[in-house]
């Protein structure tokens, strides 16, 4: 078999997987978004759904709110997750294994279960309010639940492992000799970290940021339970359009915008990776 045919044969299963499970459904989603709201219109190019997304404040707020939520949650998980990943990969402590277990074990618990846990904590009669009332900090329960802050906290808790694990994996692969060389040349521990360790860990940082951001903008279960309809995100708006308003084309248009946002993110990340390492 010629090398070209061997190469095509090797990528054929992946190509079929992508075509059947990603490309074809996405094309159908695009076609559906270009129909009118009644699904009974004549075939043709109908951009009314996208025009509504770009002109009506409720959809623009949902789009911008989703992007803002994704950026903020990604930054918070990076700030929290990088030190944890560094401790797991570089500390050499016997507690590093315990830290890894603490990071991994929540992944085996359903998102629904963890969301209900946060609802118990954030409720007006929940644990946090009971503590605040008992020590006299507040006189009335505070509305934590159904707020943007509550959704952010829940997403950070659920998605932190997706940031920690890629960074820890890359940090483990860093050759200790590179840090020793920097230290032997007189660099301090902090300078060694900023000039050697952190730049070498950037592939893990970028991978973690992509995973977290992509999950945030597509998150539905936790925002729906903790944020209800008061926190406008693209995923919950898609659900409302399809299941409540029975406007499937509008929901499809919102879904297309969500997918395009994800691909733009991947393209930006790929651009920076090529710019740095090619």
Structural domains of the chain ordered from first start: 63-277 (1.10.3720.10)
Here the tokens at position 89 are: 């990969």
Alpha helices in 105-187 (DSSP H): 111-122, 127-134, 148-172, 176-184
Most confident of 3-12, 20-29, 77-86, 192-201: 77-86
Match 């040349």 to its residue by tokens: 185
150 CB contacts (<8 Å, ≥6 apart)? 118, 122, 144, 226, 227
Q: Which residue has the higher pLDDT, 278 or 169?
A: 169
- Percent over 70 (pLDDT), the chain: 91
Helix axes 148-172, 202-218, angle to 10 degrees: 150
Q: To the nearest whole number, what is the mean pLDDT of the chain?
A: 84
| 157 CB-contact burial (10 Å; exposed 0-12 / middle 13-18 / buried 19+) | middle
| Rounded CA separation 139/256 (Å) | 46
Q: What is the mean pLDDT of residues 133-161?
A: 89
| 66 CB-contact burial (10 Å; exposed 0-12 / middle 13-18 / buried 19+) | buried
pLDDT, position 39: 47
| Rounded CA separation 31/34 (Å) | 5
pLDDT, position 6: 61
Tell me the pLDDT band of 5, cut-offs 50, 70 and 90. Answer: low
Please state, in angstroms and as integers, the Cα–Cα distance from residue 124 to each residue in 76, 127, 146, following that order.
26, 9, 11
| Rounded CA separation 75/212 (Å) | 9
50 in helix, strand or coil? Answer: helix
Q: What is the pTM of this model?
A: 0.84
Q: Which of 233, 210, 189 is nearest to 77 (CA)?
A: 210
End-to-end Cα spacing for the chain? 32
Q: Which residue has the higher pLDDT, 183 or 96?
A: 96
Q: What is the mean pLDDT of residues 133-153?
A: 88
């Amino acid at each position: 078999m010629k090398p070209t045919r061997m190469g095509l044969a090797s990528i054929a299963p992946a190509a079929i997987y992508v075509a059947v499970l990603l490309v074809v459904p996405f094309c159908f989603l695009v076609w559906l978004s270009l129909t009118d709201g009644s699904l009974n219109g004549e075939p043709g190019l109908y951009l009314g759904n996208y025009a509504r997304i770009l002109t009506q404040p409720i959809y623009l707020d949902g789009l911008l709110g989703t992007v803002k939520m994704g950026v903020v949650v990604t930054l918070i998980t990076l700030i929290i997750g990088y030190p944890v990943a560094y401790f797991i990969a570089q500390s050499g402590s016997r507690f590093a294994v315990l830290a890894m277990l603490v990071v991994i074990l929540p992944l085996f618990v359903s998102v629904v279960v963890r969301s209900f846990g946060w609802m118990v904590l954030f409720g007006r009669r929940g644990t946090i309010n009971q503590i605040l009332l008992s020590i006299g900090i507040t006189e009335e329960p505070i509305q934590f639940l159904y707020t943007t802050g509550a959704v952010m906290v829940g997403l950070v808790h659920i998605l932190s492992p997706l940031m920690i694990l890629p960074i820890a994996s890359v940090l483990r692969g860093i050759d200790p000799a590179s840090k020793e060389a920097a230290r032997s040349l007189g660099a301090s521990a902090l300078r060694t970290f900023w000039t050697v360790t952190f730049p070498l860990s950037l592939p893990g940082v970028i991978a973690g940021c992509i995973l977290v951001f992509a999950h945030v903008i597509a998150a539905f279960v936790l925002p729906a339970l903790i944020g209800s309809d008061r926190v406008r995100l693209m995923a919950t708006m898609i659900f409302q359009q399809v299941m409540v308003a029975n406007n499937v084309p509008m929901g499809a248009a919102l879904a297309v915008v969500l997918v395009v946002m994800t691909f733009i993110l991947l393209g930006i990340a790929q651009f920076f990776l090529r710019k740095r390492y090619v």
